[in-house]
Amino acid sequence: MSRNRKFAANWKFVVTGALGGLANGLFGSGGGLFLVPLMTKWGKLEQRKAFATSVAVILPLSLVSAVVYFSKGALELSTAWPYLLGGAVGGAISGLVFRKVSLTFLRRVFGLLILYGGVRAVLAL
């Protein structure tokens, strides 16, 4: 019984991950936007864990996409490095404060950014 349940839960994450990867591969980005709602509503993950776990999933997806991009020569370190440095600092700060950030704030900002992504996608910008 519990084994079956575990299996079913794993399948939900397999499908969730596949959808995220599909969107990322097809549209270049946006796969991550799938992950959190599917993980919470379907996979029954706790909201805060879903946000954190989605970062862990998007990282390898970004690595794959990065290989595609860099093979096209679309990265110049001379212009990229300040963003990478800033990003690393921001990432460390986010990890330090994440437990104290209100879930309501996280979900509202997330919603706003998804809406923006949706508008862009619909208008094919």
Partner 1 sequence: MSWFFPILVGAATGVLSGFGIGGGTLLLLWLTMVSGMDQLHAGGINLAYFIACALPALWYHLKNGLIEKRAALWCILAGVPACILASLLAARMDVTLLRRFFGVFLLGIGFRELFFKSKKGGTPNPEAVKKSTQAGEYLPLSTKKAENSKK
Q: Provide the phi-psi class of 44: left if phi over 0, else alpha when psi is between -120 and 50, else beta.
A: left
Per-residue burial over 91-124, b = 16 or more CB atoms within 10 Å of its CB, e = otherwise: eeeeeeeeeeeeeeeeeeeeeeebeeeeeeeeee
Alpha-carbon span 4 to 113, nearest angstrom: 37
Cβ at position 99, least distance to partner 1 in Å: 6
SS3 115: helix
- Which two structure tokens, joined as six digits, stand for 71? 């093979």
